[in-house]
Amino acid sequence: MAEFPSKVSTRTSSPAQGAGASVSALRPDLGFVRSSLGALMLLQLLMIFNVGATVLYITAFITCSASVELTSLKGTRPYNQRAAASFFACLVMIAYGVSAFFTFQAWRGVGSNAATSQMAGGYA
């Protein structure tokens, strides 16, 4: 334990005067985005976004649908507006759900069964 301080350097450097966040530091690394790992990461972010949007639109649809009949008379303007909002929320919910499904399928990959992909790769 006595030799521990001699192995550790605690010197720190201070940033140069007037040097803030440069523009080049804020640019995305396009090489990483073009790599397969970067593409998978972006695909996973899209999938998370689509699943989150689907859940939010499910709650919007349920809330709008539940409030249509209770607070409005059938055939009045508020009733029609809430019914249209419920219908739109339902359509968007389905669209985001389908998009999330296809994003998951693309993320998982075609034929992602480990046994069949290794067999085909080893003996083909």
Alpha-carbon distance values, 39 to 6, 33, 35, 94 (Å): 44, 6, 6, 25
pLDDT value at residue 124? 44
What integer is the mean pLDDT of 78-97?
87
Give the count of alpha carbons within 13 A of 25, CB side only.
4
Give yes or no for residue 33 having a pLDDT over 50. yes
Q: What pLDDT, in 10s, does the model give residues 91-121? A: 988 998 898 888 888 877 765 555 555 555 5
Alpha-carbon distance values, 70 to 53, 58, 63 (Å): 26, 19, 11
pLDDT value at residue 9? 67
